[in-house]
Every structure is written in structure tokens, then in C-alpha cells.
């Protein structure tokens, strides 16, 4: 069970510290052969002159807190089970991690929980942390796309302090929980949402399951639109070199989102946007922004999640639109 707000260890501590960054920041990004230097020291300062004394509310960090991981899985049980296993086996505080999975499967499919339990039993001799996992199982034939699943995923959140949204085919590095929380605090913004497209598994250091590179991913461009009213969707991730601090971003990325859980509870995914894929992340961006949240790409020091970008044709064998359009 998550820590109660009345628990003495759960009293909020306002993280007050000077948000001082190096003026000569070495971080830069490149587009179409042009280099752009980044200045994260100014990103929390409003552009409007009359508002430049304003700042976001400082981050509040309880001394003890739980983390909820939300996953929407579509016929991806084997990879989903591995994602859960890395979450528990590599966390600094696995006893404070809780998971909610919307598992969309067919009767013959492997389930996320079964696959996790196989890995857990091999590692610990039992399906350790099974009580920390909530499964909302659905017939894959009635799936209405990612937005419906992500809405259902949000309903599984309890009273955890932080929420992490992942794709079902991800893995986390050693001490991912402390790394993400530390990176979130470094935004100096209670309303911060860390989000990006994670890098592939090949960027993880195989020996000790850490990240040692000097790059990080950033979402700031969208694809060409055919008309002014066409919904923008992200043009993949760009690369920031030598990023020392979280960088304010334009777009939300569904493969990784880390924030206080009040963001998930206030900016709720619309369950009625059936079959929406391209445009889903743009609408999520707008929902967060209009509820007062700012999106940041994690710096190279906050890279904690990696993504399996290989395709699995087995997952898309069945698409029965007639069952789920109405």
C-alpha cells in the first residue's frame, strides 16, 4: 500500500535551492546542418517582460514516497513481463514501486503477469512483488487504440506520489527510480513532466546496465502538415549533445513520461478518441500544457529508460475494427 499523506514520513519538504546553471553551457542541438546552443538557465523565465519575476512552483519531495508505473500492452506479454522485471529488479527501492498494466490479449497470448512471474521466479525463487502489480485485462479484439488503453491505465493509479508511463517493450537501468526523481527535482518545477522518446537498448552499457553517453533525446519538431488545421505529430527525436540539465521541450512522448501523479489525475486522457495514434501525443501535450504543466527532456544524467524499437508482426495480426468502433 502506498504511503498515506498522514504518515509522518510523508510530510512534504519544499525543495528550495538556487537554480543556477552555467552561463557557458556546452549543450547544443543540430538541425539540417546548423548548430544551436542551448541555455536552460532561462527556460523557466517567462518571455513577457512584465511576468519575468514569476517562476513555477518549486518541487515538493516527501521523505518517503511510492512510484506508480503505468503500461498499456497490446499482445506484448513477453516483452511486457521483461519490462516489469527490470523495473523491480533494478530499482533502488523496489518495495515502493507499484505497477498497473492494461493487458490487451487474445486467449492464446502470453500475459504480462505470467511472463513477469517466470522471470521473477528464476531470479528470486518466487514471483516477488506480485502483490504490487494490478492487471486490467481486456480482449485484444475489442481494443480501441492507445488512447482508450491509456485512459484505463490512469484509472489504476492509487495514492502514489510519482507516475511513470512506459511502453510495454522497455527496460530500465540500475537505480532508475532515484535517477528519475533526482532529474525531476532538477527542473525546479513542481509541474514538470519529464518526457521523450527513449533510446534503443543498444545505448545501454551491457556490463553494469548504466548509461555513459553524452547525448540525450529531445522532442521539438513535427512532421509537415498538409493544411493549417491538420493535427501535428512528432518528427521523431532530436539529439542534444552534452546536456547537463533537463531541457524544456515542445512535445510529450508516450514512450516515457515521469511526473507527479497529480499530472495524470488532472490532465486525463480522453477515452473517446478511438483509434487515434498519430496526434495522440500532440493532444496529450496540449492537455498537460493547458493544465499548467511544463514538459522537459531528461538530460544525459537522467537517461533511465530504454526502448525496444524492433517490430513484432505477431502483435498486429488481428484488427477487428467493427467490434470496437462504436
- Block mean pLDDT (10 aa), the chain, length 326: 34 36 66 86 90 94 98 97 99 99 96 99 99 98 92 98 98 97 97 97 88 90 79 82 94 96 97 84 93 97 95 66 52
Q: What is the pLDDT of residue 254?
A: 92
Domains annotated for the chain, with CATH where assigned, are 67-324 (3.90.550.10)
Q: What pLDDT is recorded for position 242?
A: 92
The C-alpha cell at 136 is 486490467
Burial class (CB in 10 A: 0-12, 13-18, 19+), 271: middle
What local confidence, expressed as pLDDT, does residue 318 receive? 58
Write a three-state SS string for the chain: CCCCCCCHHHCCCECCCCCCCCCCCCCEEEECCEEEECCHHHCCCCCCHHHCCCCCCCCECCCCCCEEEEEEEECCHHHHHHHHHHHHHCCCCHHHEEEEEEEEECCCCCCHHHHHHHHHHHHHCCCCCHHHEEEEEEEHHHCCCHHHHHHHHHCCCCCCCEEEEEECCEEECCCHHHHHHHHHHCCCCCCEEEECCCEEHHHCECCCCECCCCEEEECCCECCCCCCCCCCCECCCEEEECCCCCEECCCCCCCEEEEEHHHHHHCCCCCCCCCCCCCHHHHHHHHHHHCCCEEEECCHHHCCEEECCCCCHHHHCCCCHHHHCC
Amino acid at each position: 500500500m502506498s504511503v498515506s499523506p498522514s504518515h509522518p514520513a510523508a510530510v512534504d519538504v519544499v525543495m528550495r535551492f538556487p537554480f543556477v546553471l552555467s552561463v557557458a553551457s556546452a549543450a547544443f542541438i543540430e538541425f539540417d546542418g546548423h548548430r544551436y546552443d542551448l541555455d536552460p538557465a532561462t527556460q523557466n523565465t517567462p518571455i513577457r517582460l512584465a511576468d519575468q519575476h514569476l517562476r513555477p512552483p518549486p518541487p515538493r519531495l516527501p521523505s518517503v514516497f511510492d512510484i506508480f508505473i503505468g503500461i498499456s500492452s497490446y499482445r506484448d506479454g513477453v516483452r511486457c513481463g521483461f519490462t516489469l522485471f527490470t523495473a523491480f529488479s533494478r530499482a533502488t527501492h523496489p518495495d515502493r514501486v507499484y505497477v498497473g498494466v492494461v493487458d490487451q490479449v487474445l486467449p492464446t497470448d502470453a500475459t504480462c503477469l505470467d511472463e513477469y512471474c517466470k522471470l521473477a521466479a528464476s531470479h528470486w525463487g518466487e514471483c516477488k512483488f506480485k502483490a504490487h502489480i494490478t492487471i486490467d485485462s481486456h480482449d485484444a479484439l475489442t481494443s480501441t487504440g492507445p488512447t482508450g488503453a491509456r485512459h484505463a491505465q490512469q484509472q489504476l493509479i492509487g495514492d502514489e506520489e510519482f507516475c511513470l508511463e512506459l511502453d510495454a517493450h522497455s527496460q530500465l537501468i540500475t537505480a532508475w527510480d532515484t535517477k528519475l526523481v533526482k532529474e525531476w527535482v532538477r527542473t525546479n518545477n513542481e509541474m514538470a513532466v519529464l518526457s521523450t522518446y527513449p533510446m534503443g537498448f543498444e545505448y545501454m552499457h551491457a556490463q553494469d546496465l548504466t548509461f555513459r553517453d553524452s547525448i540525450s533525446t529531445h522532442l521539438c519538431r513535427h512532421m509537415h502538415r498538409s493544411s493549417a488545421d491538420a493535427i501535428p505529430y512528432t518528427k521523431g527525436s532530436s539529439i542534444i549533445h552534452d546536456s547537463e540539465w533537463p531541457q524544456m521541450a515542445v512535445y510529450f512522448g508516450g514512450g516515457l513520461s515521469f511526473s507527479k501523479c497529480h499530472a495524470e489525475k488532472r490532465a486525463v486522457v480522453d477515452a473517446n478518441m478511438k483509434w487515434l495514434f498519430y496526434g495522440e501525443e500532440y493532444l496529450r501535450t496540449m492537455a498537460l500544457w493547458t493544465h499548467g504543466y511544463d514538459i522537459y527532456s531528461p538530460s544525459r544524467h537522467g537517461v533511465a529508460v530504454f526502448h525496444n524499437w524492433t517490430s513484432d508482426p505477431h502483435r498486429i495480426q488481428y484488427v477487428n475494427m467493427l467490434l470496437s468502433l462504436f
